[in-house]
Amino acid sequence: MAKKIVVTSGKGGVGKTTVTANLGVQLAKNGCRVIVCDLDFGLNNIDVVLGVENLATFDVVDAVEGRCRPKQALVRHPRYPTLYSLASNRISERYISPQAVRLILDSLSPQFDFILIDCPAGIDEGFHRAVACAEEALLVTTPHISAMRDAARVADMLKSYRLQRVGLVVNMVRGDLVRKGELLRPEEISETLHVPLACVVPEEDKIFLDNVADRYRAFRSLAEFYVCGKPNTEFRRKSFFGGLLCALRR
Ligand SMILES: Nc1ncnc2c1ncn2[C@@H]1O[C@H](COP(=O)(O)OP(=O)(O)O)[C@@H](O)[C@H]1O
Ligand SMILES: [Mg+2]
């Protein structure tokens, strides 16, 4: 059975889709069978980020409403053969229940190792639908105060779901600003939000050009965290030596 992980944040634009897509790619590269499921109805874009936007005939709503079988809505990634995309629908006004989506994901679950769910921004119906389908969550925030405030609200809301584990992804971290004390350290963010740190993703110029790429080491470590339970300590090591350098320079 697949482990279902929802990637959520509260605030939009903090990197949920980027994290979902890149984690999907890295898990597939580890040999896992993965579905990346877009539940951001209306503002869906994971197919674009994965570069499969022209390959889908059906989407998750077609499967829910019986126009296709769940498997027919999956698009196999041309580059990563164990990675599948389950596209979302542009129509946002129709009510799709969490139970209906969960039935579709449950029917696909036996043939997969992971189902990653890209959650919409906000804390309304779409959030509930996405989280109610999952067993675990990744909470994404940036080190900026507005994102952290929304993440705190979401962290609180996640407590009312029966999730097995919630991990924190701090995205768009600039090590130079952290070292200067201008941004909170990821560990401090984790302590403030009471959510254990799963991954720290540096701010990259090139994510704007290549949405998914092998060189993003943080996502490789995040995949290892799920495959073999190895936590991502890379950033901590860097910040330790960074801190040592700063102390020596003083
Ligand atoms: N670590 C990062 N460094 C630089 N740009 C990033 C990073 N993570 C995400 N982005 C960019 O930020 C924008 C918003 O990311 P996205 O994943 O779409 O956020 P969300 O799904 O939360 O709305 C995208 O243009 C994406 O390429
Ligand atoms: Mg998104």
For residue 171, which ligand has an atom nearest its CA?
A: 1
CATH of the domain at 48: 3.40.50.300
Rounded CA gap, 21 and 40, in Å? 13
Probe target for ligand 1 pocket from 7, 11, 14, 18, with the most ligand atoms within 8 Å of CB:
18
pLDDT at 237: 46
For residue 14, which ligand has an atom nearest its CA?
A: 1
Least confident window among 83-92, 186-195, 202-211: 202-211
Probe target for ligand 1 pocket from 207, 211, 220, 221, with the most ligand atoms within 8 Å of CB:
207
Confidence of residue 89 (pLDDT cuts 50, 70, 90): confident
Return the top range by mean pLDDT from 46-50, 108-112, 231-235: 108-112
Rounded CA gap, 238 and 166, in Å? 24
Find the 110 Cα to ligand 1 centroid distance in Å.
31
Note whether 7 and 133 are within 8 A (CB): no
Dump pLDDT digits (tens) for 95-105.
Answer: 899 999 999 99
Rounded CA gap, 68 and 61, in Å? 9
What is the domain count for the chain? 1
Dump pLDDT digits (tens) for 195-207.
Answer: 999 999 999 887 7
Note whether 17 and 147 are within 8 A (CB): no
Looking at residue 109, the DSSP 8-state letter turns out to be: G
> What domain range is 99 assigned to?
3-249
Find the 15 Cα to ligand 1 centroid distance in Å.
4
pLDDT at 240: 45
Find the 15 Cα to ligand 2 centroid distance in Å.
7
CA nearest ligand 1 atom 15, residue: 15
Q: Which residues line ligand 1 (CB under 6 A)?
A: 9, 12-18, 171-172, 201, 203-204, 207-208, 211
Q: Provide the sign of the torsion angle of the four alpha carbons 27, 5, 152, 18, taken in this order.
A: positive
What average pLDDT does the segment 20-26 reach? 95
